[in-house]
Amino acid sequence: MVFLTVLHWLSVLFFVGMFAAIVFVFETADSYILEFSFGLAVMGIIPWMLVVIMRYATLGQLLIFPWTKPSPQK
């Protein structure tokens, strides 16, 4: 249980760090082309990730193991 809690908070910190990195790139972009292309990449990748997550994971697994499939229901 401790392992799952630690893993959960590491994943939370990871996603917060990713968000901070995206904001940093947007705020420090030297050209509009870089910002535009990066924005297109993010807008293209994130919806597909959300579709995959919503298809293969339950809410409990989103909090602990975002990459696992739900267990079969008995």
Is the distance from CB of 36 to CB of 26 less than 8 angstroms?
A: no
Is the distance from CB of 63 to CB of 4 less than 8 angstroms?
A: no
pLDDT of res. 71: 60
Q: What is the pLDDT along the chain (74 residues), one digit of tens a residue?
A: 778 788 888 888 888 787 777 777 767 766 666 666 677 777 677 666 766 666 666 655 655 555 555 566 66
pLDDT of res. 8: 83
Global model pTM greater than 0.75: no
Q: Where are the domains of the chain?
A: 2-64
